[in-house]
């Protein structure tokens, strides 16, 4: 019996097996034909014109100009073919250090016009964020006479207009057309190149196409100073969700460590830090990193409780001795001292790449009962995944403490996210300058800070369908969600959402309540309540790991969660996302819906329900949907009409901040959800349940009677235990 068909029963569905066209429309069916979001026939012609022979050899450049269904691209080619092709290109042992780029591949280099055309076709924009005084435009070739005149006459350059400043800041690095260029052009480690090929990556996504040349040392930038300083730049990357940002920062970090091992074989310690806001995202980064570091000699580790990252035996021992002498009479402090001493006796982790959450690393770096923090002198790469959250007031101090603890003069920072405001850019600039002043780093030219934006900044991916559904009340949302689970012919909605999918709520209590309400909606023939689960931060690490594992394996089809899973976590087979509670900001909406349509897959659906209480907060989300549909193009029907955008009210800046902090007022707290106040309309309006008020009153009366009976029995038992003895008269 087809369990998926049981969950999607409808009179319009035929009993015949799914056709290839319908199967291809589901992200969970098959593999993505192309990982690029903005790939067009024009971009294919531009890339094949320059690298036509190379792309024909790798089976990912087949053109489909005749309108005939192209064969399935060899996007996930076998490991044997990938390894053999990499071995034929190099012929060198993987233990040998990679050769430096001597400029022998000049015949493959593109001129500025070609680079600009390809980058614009892929909607990639690279900008230099340094001050205009630090940006030195590339001098045009002149004769000796002109040079003498320039030396004799030093005229002040006129102030540039805003358009001229934008032009001066624009950079056009050579794009990475194929992953084979990682070895042939940028000379990365041979074993690392084989691992990339074994994972089936042949066609880079837009963010990989633009960021990897920058982080691997592209020397074709018009105003690049990295060639003179011998280092790569600091980088801010804004790219859509599911576009391959993890691979973009892992490859340069691993390659940098491999080179360091060859140049300084005796220097061991943490060389790179990757900071993520949640444990689930950190664990996912480690899993992806282990596939890439296999056989390279690089070790990647997930930060855990009790792990030591620095050696501070001398300082901690002195502190413990002083504390034990000052408070020898306290048993609790003695036990705390023994616990701390046990941590200090634990071996220091031997890892090249440490992936962690902010608070866990800050606790490990903090000294015992002191305000000072240990330093990480060997860290040369600091990666912040979901940087806008890490630099949000919730994590900002912890993240900045980690940043300041990295004291190596050649530290390079990269910040990655799908949404990044201008305040993050300003904070990054100020922190870099502050760090250079504190460490007294004197350089003739400051480090280059580059921003790379893919597509429209802070916008949703264009390859998913958005649905904004008005449900009026909480009961209407619950009814609409049940219609998604088991659609019928009488269903007013045309949305057909097949599992697996995610359901997002505003708070943990609402996620638990929705899970308890839906757990018996799935037929027993399809698995019953075992097919739906709830995931939130109040669960233990073991429970969260088990739920994530079962959801990835397909044993759980519907996962009710909070914004804990809204960022970074990659589920490649998700067919859709349901926003049961409206997101608290446009950025949260972008990240939530980005859990589907990963790696360019088509067919993902994002359904957002809103009630009367949500109307003041809908316009920002409607604008995101409208921009995403315009970015996709085509003549299809738009889900957001102009009259709706004009009718929705604008939200003030203060209200936006309040919404971001506390969510919708009607659902901020759940203390009064079980108590009727006045006429009870407030509690009924925010309760996730289909029970009537009469049924709930009867249940509450029964619970109250049981509680009162227990109290009477307890009082009687206490009276009997006293034995009726007389203690005398009180004074």
Residue 79, in any domain of the structure: no
How confident is the model over 250-291, as pLDDT tens digits?
999 999 999 999 988 877 889 999 999 999 999 999 999 999
DSSP state of 567: S
The domain spanning residue 361 has which CATH number? 3.40.50.300
Q: Which helix (H) or strand (E) holds 415?
A: strand 412-417
CB 258 within 8 A of CB 187: no
Q: Which two tokens stand for residue 550?
A: 């079962």
Classify residue 145: in a domain, yes or no: no
Does residue 195 form part of some domain?
no
Together in a domain, 280 and 387:
yes
Tell which residue, 279, 356, 296, has the closest CA to residue 569. Answer: 279
How many structural domains does the chain have? 3
pLDDT tens digits along 545-604: 999 999 999 999 999 999 999 988 888 788 999 999 999 999 999 999 999 988 778 778
Using CA atoms, how far apart are residues 176 and 62, in angstroms rounded to an integer? 18
Q: Of 313-327, 425-439, 477-491, 644-658, which range is least confident? A: 313-327
| Residue 449 three-state SS | strand
Same domain (yes/no): 489, 389: no
pLDDT band at 309 (very low <50, low <70, confident <90, very high): confident
Identify the residue with better confidence: 563 or 228: 563
What percent of the chain has a predicted confidence (pLDDT) above 90?
36
Query: Which of 670, 685, 701 is the last residue in one of the domains?
Result: 670
Predicted local confidence at residue 235, as pLDDT? 95
Does residue 632 or residue 288 have the better pLDDT? Answer: 288
pLDDT(150) > 60: no
**HEC assignment per residue over 205-255:** CHHHHHHHHHHCCCCCCCCCCHHHHCCCCEEEEECCCCCCHHHHHHHHHHH
Is 693 found in the same domain as 665?
Answer: no
Considering the domain architecture, whether residues 415 and 533 belong to the same structural domain is answered as: no
- Rounded to an integer, the average pLDDT of 400-420 is 93
Same domain, 407 and 508: no
Average pLDDT of the residues in 170-185: 91
Asked if residue 681 and residue 664 are part of one domain, the reply reads: no
| Mean pLDDT score of the chain | 76
Judge whether 131 lies within some domain.
no
CB distance 622 to 634 below 8 Å: no
Distance between CA atoms of residues 105 and 114, nearest Å: 16
Q: Is the pTM of this model over 0.85?
A: no
In a domain, 404, yes or no: yes
Name the pLDDT band for 324 (thresholds 50, 70, 90). Answer: very low
- Most confident range (mean pLDDT) of 74-78, 146-150, 502-506 is 502-506
Give pLDDT, residue 669: 56
CB 180 within 8 A of CB 89: yes
Phi, psi of 466, rounded to the nearest 5 degrees: -110, 140
Please list, in sequence order, all residues whose beta carbon lies within 8 angstroms of the beta carbon of residue 206, skipping any fewer than 6 positions away: 36, 37, 38, 122, 123, 124, 239, 243, 454, 455
Pair 608, 627 in one domain: yes
Are residues 638 and 689 both part of a single domain? no
Residue that finishes a domain, picked among 670, 705, 726:
670
| Residue 544 exposed, middle or buried by CB count within 10 Å (0-12, 13-18, 19+) | buried
Look up tokens 């990269």; give the residue: 414
Per-residue pLDDT reduced to its tens digit, 417-449: 999 988 999 999 999 988 888 887 655 456 789
Same domain, 567 and 480: yes
416 with 476, same domain? no
Which residue in 438, 726, 451, 467 sits closest to 596, CA to CA? 467
Do 469 and 593 fall within a single domain?
Answer: yes
CA distances from 507 to 584, 615, 710 (A): 11, 19, 33
Q: Which domain holds residue 490?
A: 464-670
Say which residues have a Cβ less than 8 Å from residue 339's Cβ, sequence separation at least 6: none
679 assigned to some structural domain = yes
At residue 643 the predicted structure's pLDDT band, cuts being 50, 70 and 90, is confident
CA–CA dist 425, 636 (Å, integer): 37
SS3 202: coil
Q: Which of 412, 446, 480 is the last residue of a domain?
A: 446
pLDDT tens string 18-54: 444 444 456 655 555 567 877 766 666 666 665 554 4
pLDDT at 87 over 50: no
Q: Say if residue 500 is preceded by a cis peptide, omega within 30 of 0.
A: yes
Could you tell me if 590 and 460 are in contact, meaning their C-beta atoms sit under 8 angstroms apart?
A: yes
200-225 average pLDDT score? 78
Rg (CA), the chain: 30
**Domain assignment present for 5:** no
Dump pLDDT digits (tens) for 96-120.
Answer: 444 444 444 454 678 888 899 999 9
Distance separating alpha carbons of residues 382 and 275, to the nearest angstrom: 8
pLDDT of 607 over the 90 cut: yes
In a domain, 376, yes or no: yes
Say yes or no: 357 and 492 in one domain: no
Q: Is the pLDDT of residue 202 over 80?
A: yes
């Amino acid at each position: 019996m087809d369990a998926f068909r049981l969950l999607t029963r409808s009179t319009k569905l035929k009993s015949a097996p799914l056709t290839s066209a319908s199967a291809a429309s589901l992200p969970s069916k098959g593999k993505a034909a192309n990982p690029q979001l903005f790939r067009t026939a024009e971009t294919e012609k531009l890339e094949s014109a320059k690298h036509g022979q190379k792309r024909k050899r790798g089976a990912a450049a087949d053109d489909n100009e005749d309108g005939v269904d192209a064969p399935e691209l060899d996007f996930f080619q076998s490991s044997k073919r990938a390894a053999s092709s990499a071995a034929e290109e190099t012929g060198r042992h993987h233990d040998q250090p990679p050769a430096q780029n001597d400029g022998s591949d000049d015949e493959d280099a593109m001129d500025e016009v070609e680079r600009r055309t390809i980058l614009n076709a892929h909607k990639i924009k690279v900008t230099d964020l340094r001050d205009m005084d630090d940006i030195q435009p590339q001098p045009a070739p002149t004769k000796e006479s002109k040079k003498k005149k320039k030396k004799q006459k030093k005229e002040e350059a006129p102030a540039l207009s805003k358009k001229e400043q934008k032009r001066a800041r624009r950079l056009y690095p050579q794009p990475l057309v194929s992953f084979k260029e990682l070895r042939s052009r940028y000379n990365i480690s041979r074993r690392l190149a084989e691992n990339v090929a074994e994972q089936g990556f042949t066609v880079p996504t837009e963010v990989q196409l633009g960021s990897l040349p920058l982080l691997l040392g592209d020397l074709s930038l018009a105003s690049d100073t990295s060639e003179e300083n011998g280092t790569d730049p600091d980088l801010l990357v804004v790219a859509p969700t599911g576009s391959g940002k993890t691979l973009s920062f892992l490859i340069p970090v691993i390659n940098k460590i491999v080179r360091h091992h060859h140049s300084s074989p005796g220097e061991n310690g943490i060389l790179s830090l990757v900071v993520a806001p949640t444990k689930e995202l950190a664990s996912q980064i480690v899993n992806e990193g282990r596939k890439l570091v296999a056989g390279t000699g690089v070790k990647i580790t997930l930060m855990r409780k009790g792990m030591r990252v620095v050696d501070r035996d001398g300082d901690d021992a002195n502190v413990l001795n002083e504390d034990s002498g000052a408070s020898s009479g306290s048993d609790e402090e003695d036990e705390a001292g023994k616990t701390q001493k046990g941590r200090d006796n634990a071996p220091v982790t031997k890892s090249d790449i440490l992936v962690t959450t902010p608070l866990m690393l800050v606790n490990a770096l903090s000294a015992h009962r002191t305000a000072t923090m240990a330093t990480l002198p060997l860290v040369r790469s600091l990666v912040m995944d979901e940087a806008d959250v890490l630099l949000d007031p919730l994590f900002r101090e912890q993240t900045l403490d980690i940043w300041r603890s990295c004291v190596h003069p050649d530290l390079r920072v990269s910040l990655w996210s799908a949404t990044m405001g201008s305040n993050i850019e300003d904070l990054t600039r100020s922190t870099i300058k502050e760090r250079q002043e504190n460490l007294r780093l004197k350089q003739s030219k400051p480090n280059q800070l580059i921003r790379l934006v893919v597509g429209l900044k802070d916008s949703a991916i264009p390859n998913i369908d958005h649905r904004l559904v008005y449900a009026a009340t909480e009961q209407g949302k619950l009814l609409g969600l049940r219609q998604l689970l088991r659609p019928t012919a009488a269903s007013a909605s045309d949305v057909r959402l097949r599992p697996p999918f995610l359901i997002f709520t505003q708070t943990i209590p609402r996620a638990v309540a929705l899970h308890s309400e839906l757990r018996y909606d799935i037929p027993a023939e399809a698995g019953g309540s075992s097919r739906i689960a709830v995931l939130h931060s109040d669960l233990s690490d073991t429970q969260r790991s088990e739920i994530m594992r079962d959801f990835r394996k397909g044993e759980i089809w519907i996962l009710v969660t909070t914004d804990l899973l809204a960022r970074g976590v990659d589920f490649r087979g998700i067919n859709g996302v349901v926003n049961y509670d409206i997101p608290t900001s446009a950025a949260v909406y972008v990240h939530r819906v980005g859990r589907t349509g990963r790696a360019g897959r088509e067919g993902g659906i994002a359904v957002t329900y809103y009630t009367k209480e949500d109307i003041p907060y809908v316009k920002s989300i409607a604008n995101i949907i409208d921009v995403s549909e315009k970015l996709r193009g085509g003549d299809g029907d738009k889900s957001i009409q102009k009259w709706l955008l004009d009718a929705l009210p604008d939200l003030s800046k203060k209200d936006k901040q309040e919404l971001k902090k506390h969510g919708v007022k009607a659902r901020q707290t759940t203390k009064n959800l079980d108590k009727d106040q006045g006429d009870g309309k407030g509690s009924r309006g925010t309760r996730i349940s289909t029970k009537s008020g009469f049924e709930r009153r009867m249940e509450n009366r029964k619970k109250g009677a049981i509680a009162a009976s227990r109290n009477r029995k307890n009082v009687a038992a206490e009276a009997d235990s006293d034995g009726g003895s007389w203690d005398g008269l009180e004074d």
